[in-house]
Chain A
Amino acid sequence: MGLGGEVGAPHEVLEAWRAYDIRASVEKLVPWPVHFCNDATAAGGAELAFGSGARLRKFLYIFIATLIGGGVVLNGSLYPGRAGYAGAFGSILVPNASGNRPFQSLIRCASLYILENMMRSEGKDPSVLWRSPDDWSEAGSTLGGWIGQATDSLSVAIVSAISVIDFDAIVIDGAFPKSIRSAIVEQTREKFGRMETLGVAPVILLKV
């Protein structure tokens, strides 16, 4: 996806990891069964087993971290997909208001690395994002700007997602304080409510 520069890793290193079979390598080292899936899918599995899964049969799980991703739950089961990429929500294209391309991946709008870059460009220390799980007040007004930008794109991407599968609900979670999650869910609900959703089934964006 060419995100190496944005997240501080060389492109060739990321490509090498893409082809590397971690599961097979670990299986050679330990006597136990080895399970493997991407982190956002694993988080979706946790939500299925220990969170909303008790009352939802079919939902899209969105996890906002350094890179935004997600997981798909169908018929009460986690659905990782043919190659483990099901629910790779960050790849959905959304309008790009400021760049030279009309569309860009959601991953470039709603990931936490974007917030980190915004803070750095405004002379703020972004380390609070990784060392303070409950209080991001140091981010100040930058945080509001990122939430606004992220939820603009998130609401568009959700319409695309529910056009493919008529999920019962959308669950938004992430590696951030609860107050940030509440703000993201509320703004996304409000913006989603103003979207054209012609021909799609009603869906719930879960309240926090």
Chain B
Amino acid sequence: MIGSDARVLGAASLPFLADFSQDRELLFRING
């Protein structure tokens, strides 16, 4: 676990994390 800095680290990583996020349509296409 990352602790207090998790929000800052996550926010700074959002461009990177965008590739690790699934929107509703993608999620259902993968699972459906």
Using a CB–CB distance below 8 Å, which chain A residues touch chain B? Answer: 33, 35-37, 39-52, 63, 65, 74-82, 133, 171-176, 178, 181, 206, 208
Q: How far is the CA of A37 from the CA of B6 in the complex (A)?
A: 14
A interface: dominant SS? mixed
B interface: dominant SS? helix
Check if A181 sits within 8 Å of B1, measured CB to CB. Answer: yes
Kindly provide the distance from the CB of A49 to the nearest chain B CB, expressed in whole angstroms.
Answer: 6
Check if B13 sits within 8 Å of A46, measured CB to CB. Answer: yes
B7 within 8 A of A: yes
Check if A181 sits within 8 Å of B3, measured CB to CB. Answer: yes
Which of the residues B3, B10, B15, B27 comes within 8 Å of A79, measured between beta carbons? B27
Check if B6 sits within 8 Å of A80, measured CB to CB. Answer: no
Q: Point out the residues of chain B lying under 8 angstroms from A45, CB to CB.
A: 10, 13-14, 17, 20-21
Residue of B1, B14, B20, B22 ringed by the most chain A CB atoms within 10 A: B1
Interface residues of B in 1-32 (CB under 8 A from A): 1-7, 9-11, 13-18, 20-24, 27, 30-31
Check if A50 sits within 8 Å of B9, measured CB to CB. Answer: yes
By beta carbon, the residue of chain B nearest A37 is B14
Pairs A–B under 8 Å by Cβ, sample size 14? A35-B14, A35-B18, A39-B7, A42-B6, A43-B9, A45-B17, A46-B10, A48-B20, A49-B17, A77-B27, A79-B27, A172-B1, A174-B4, A176-B4
